[in-house]
Amino acid sequence: MFNAEFSEEFTGWVSIEFNWTVTDSFEWDLSADLQEKWFSKLSINVDREGSVTKLKINWNLEDDKKVNELSQAIPAYLIENGIIDSAEDVTSQAVVWPSVWDYMRSTAVKALIFWLIAMIIYMIFSFGWIRKYVAPSILAIVVLLSSLLSISFPAGAYGLWMGIDSTIQIDTVFIIAILTIIGYWINDVIIIFDRARENIVKHSKKEFSYLEVFEESIAQTIKRSIGTSLSTLLVLCAMFVFGTWVVQRFAFTVGMWVIASFLSSVFVAIPTAYILLNLSKKRK
């Protein structure tokens, strides 16, 4: 079954440590009690170290209020069942609210909006002076379309990994990798489009076709794009093989982007630009 769960960073969790040894049925009894109080589908972890018991609970809590209610319900259960005498017997208690997910989501949306605005401004200023040959709006559309592939491909690959390995979850590492992708994706496409702009200027004194310009631009940049992609992939492969679990997830996601970025710039961005420019030319 496909597993696409959010990590505890996004769902919230409560951790409590107290000096008392609990029975083997403690997890079951606590789960049943919390379910009666409308805390369903909780993941309960109990770690016993001598006379010290560490309890950690998490699982898709709706909001900060629900996590706060859970943090109060656990000590109450321990006192009611005589496991501890009072709240003072709790040696430590930690609470993480799911509001971090709201923050990360809003940050990602803001970064995406900023990136889109920056790309539009770049296209206007960079290609504005050759607008009689190439409409900057068409190139902006191409950038947006190919960016969807560059982001959805690594996200889809990460999703497949989650389906294979149940320990993989959507967490801050994945969000950071996506934000990194958004920041660096435009490199390959801009390199080819910049070369296309130079070739348009070079051929502007005579009759030329977009097919000729784009073929020449790809031929001039393909070696550099392949070299850059391969060298980046080699580093990411080393990070994946020798890195920690966190580094591996980051390297995997960014590595999928490197592949998608190269493919989209050559096989999506340029062909799409060629088709749209020809359609625009025919309408004129």
Domain membership of residue 159 (yes or no) is yes
Lowest mean pLDDT among 28-32, 56-60, 142-146, 164-168: 56-60
- Specify whether 165 is located in the same domain as 60: no
DSSP 54: E
Domain membership of residue 3 (yes or no) is no
d(CA 76, CA 70): 10
Which domain, by its residues, includes 175? 99-283
CA triple 262-263-269, angle to 5 deg: 95
- Specify whether 121 is located in the same domain as 245: yes
d(CA 200, CA 217): 10
Q: What is the pTM of this model?
A: 0.67
Domain boundary among 68, 96, 124: 96
User: Which is nearest to 123 in space by CA: 135, 111, 136?
Assistant: 136
Residues 133-160: tens digit of each pLDDT: 777 777 777 877 777 777 888 888 888 8
d(CA 69, CA 51): 27
How many CB atoms sit inside 10 A of residue 131's CB?
A: 11
- Specify whether 172 is located in the same domain as 239: yes
Q: In what order do the strands lie in the sheet with 90-96?
A: 43-49, 52-58, 13-19, 90-96
- Specify whether 76 is located in the same domain as 19: yes
Domain boundary among 96, 126, 151: 96
- Specify whether 68 is located in the same domain as 113: no
CATH, residue 106 = 1.20.1640.10
Domain boundary among 78, 96, 114: 96
- Specify whether 31 is located in the same domain as 162: no
Encoded amino acid at 225, one letter: S
d(CA 124, CA 122): 5
Decide if 178 contacts 151 (C-beta within 8 A): yes
Domain count, the chain: 2
CATH, residue 40 = 3.30.70
Looking at residue 283, its pLDDT comes to 55
- Specify whether 78 is located in the same domain as 202: no
Q: 10: burial class by Cβ within 10 Å (0-12, 13-18, 19+)? A: buried
Residues 169-210: tens digit of each pLDDT: 777 788 788 777 766 666 677 777 788 878 887 877 777 788
